[in-house]
Amino acid sequence: MRFQDMHWMDVERYLQQDTRVILVTGSTEQHAYLSLLTDILIPSRIALAVAEREGVLVAPPLNFGVSQHFTEFPGTISLSPSTFELVLSEMVDSLLHQGFTRFFILNGHGGNRIPPRLQDLDYDGLARIEWYDWWRESATRAFEAEHNLRLDHANWGENFAFTRVGEVPAGEKPPVNLELLEEGESIRDVIGDGSYGGPYQVDEALSLELFERVVNDVCGRVRAMREI
């Protein structure tokens, strides 16, 4: 259930029986050998899987985030923190005005933060807001611990069939020492191809298992929002 597959009267009918909506946030930025839209593609696929199971509506994604640290890499498009917060807050305000009251924000990028305006809406009881960084939550952390893997930028944890746009190297990359940036080096000099290190890819069955675990976790949380 996506906005792009509906007209306004469909949404009005939806609101008569449900006020939940999933908002997807992420970024357009370098991900080594993966798509520049990796941080949008992953949460969007998760959101679509959840929508199919839970019957919840998914709004169009906000394709740009706070990616100023990667602007040396061609293709990266960054917003300032204040612009990101303003745009996301106005998206929520628009939907709140129409009758949506329960917002599950499925975030795919580490540079994005929940706007204080949305925290205030939740605190004041004007809307229910849940912010979900899919790679930081319990489902992903448990998977990492069980398989002795560490998800990091542009490594195995973001390498899905739908984020690959070319050949990905085999093997592992040594972890990047980001402290070198404090010595004045450029980020491209420090991280090279863009990955922060670790295996570039793992067995496809492991990737599918991770995806399924995250989807199950999000389904439970979105389902709980309807019951509140």
Q: What is the mean pLDDT of each run of 10 residues along the chain (228 residues)?
A: 96 97 98 98 98 98 97 97 98 98 98 97 95 98 97 98 95 88 80 96 97 98 87
Sheet holding 102-107, edge to edge: 57-58, 20-25, 102-107, 128-133
Q: What is the pLDDT of residue 228?
A: 62
Q: What is the pLDDT of residue 177?
A: 84
Under CATH, to which class is 3-227 assigned? alpha beta
Tokens matching residue 197: 């290190």
Torsion of CA 74, 80, 86, 89, to 10 degrees: 70
| 17 Cβ contact partners less than 8 Å away, ≥ 6 residues apart | none
Helices (H) and strands (E) in the chain, counts: 7, 6
Q: Which residues pair with 21 in a beta bridge?
A: 57, 103
| 203 Cβ contact partners less than 8 Å away, ≥ 6 residues apart | none
Query: What distance, in Å, lies between the first and last C-alpha atoms of the chain?
Result: 21
| 191 Cβ contact partners less than 8 Å away, ≥ 6 residues apart | 176, 178
